[in-house]
Amino acid sequence: DGGITQSPKYLFRKEGQNVTLSCEQNLNHDAMYWYRQDPGQGLRLIYYSQIVNDFQKGDIAEGYSVSREKKESFPLTVTSAQKNPTAFYLCASSSPGQGVYGYTFGSGTRLTVV
Amino acid sequence: AQSVTQPDIHITVSEGASLELRCNYSYGATPYLFWYVQSPGQGLQLLLKYFSGDTLVQGIKGFEAEFKRSQSSFNLRKPSVHWSDAAEYFCAVGADMGSGYSTLTFGKGTMLLVSP
């Protein structure tokens, strides 16, 4: 079945370490997105990419980096510059036309920095 | 820039009773509007969407929503709530980036609790 796979589901890291969250999709979607979710804050856009080797900052990009070397993959790196990285991270994808009808979401990665 | 307000953080409804979750949006053009549902620790599932046309849209799981341009609202309704509907609900507005893509701006969510 087609879908979006985020791994791992839970991730623990020490403060000051960079960490990379994986997002893979087999839906043949062109666009991919990363959102951060905090309790009571809804979802906030970190980065998005419409095509391979191109991406744009969202509303809260500081302290994060991404790459889009393959259409299927859009990994997110949480760097040591991110002041409060503990959160639930959601990856999503869409295709032209389908993009104005909504996204398909992965099941998320919960990152805890200690 | 677009924004979404969900005025109710929590709502408790008795099983079998009707439900209405409120959503107000701010967007300069014709909005694309969505309702998503999220179970604890999971991703988001699309319930329904409004793009154009009929302002009353039907979704999955018996949900519907009505777009009211004059009130900048897109409230979600269900005539009879089931215990399995307990979850967090998010309203979102899409900003057209061209080429058929949009970025979604989400509200802060409404947690629905269902009492026996």
Q: Are B74 and B67 in contact (CB under 8 A)?
A: yes
Q: Is A97 at the interface with chain B, CB within 8 A?
A: yes
Cβ neighbours of B82 (radius 10 Å): 12
Is B83 in a helix, a strand, or coil? helix
Q: Between chains, do B101 and A96 touch, taking CB under 8 Å as contact?
A: yes
pLDDT band of B100, cuts 50, 70, 90 = low
Put simply, whether A39 touches B (Cβ < 8 Å) is no
| Strand A31-38 relative to strand A87-94, pairing | antiparallel
| pLDDT tens, residue by residue, B26-65 | 987 778 899 999 998 888 999 999 988 889 999 999 999 9
Preferred mutation among A88, A101, A107 to probe B, highest tally of B CBs within 10 A = A101
Cross-chain CB nearest to B100 (options A45, A58, A99): A99
Positions of chain A with pLDDT lower than 50, given as ranges: 99
Q: What is the pLDDT of residues B27-38, one digit of tens each?
A: 877 788 999 999
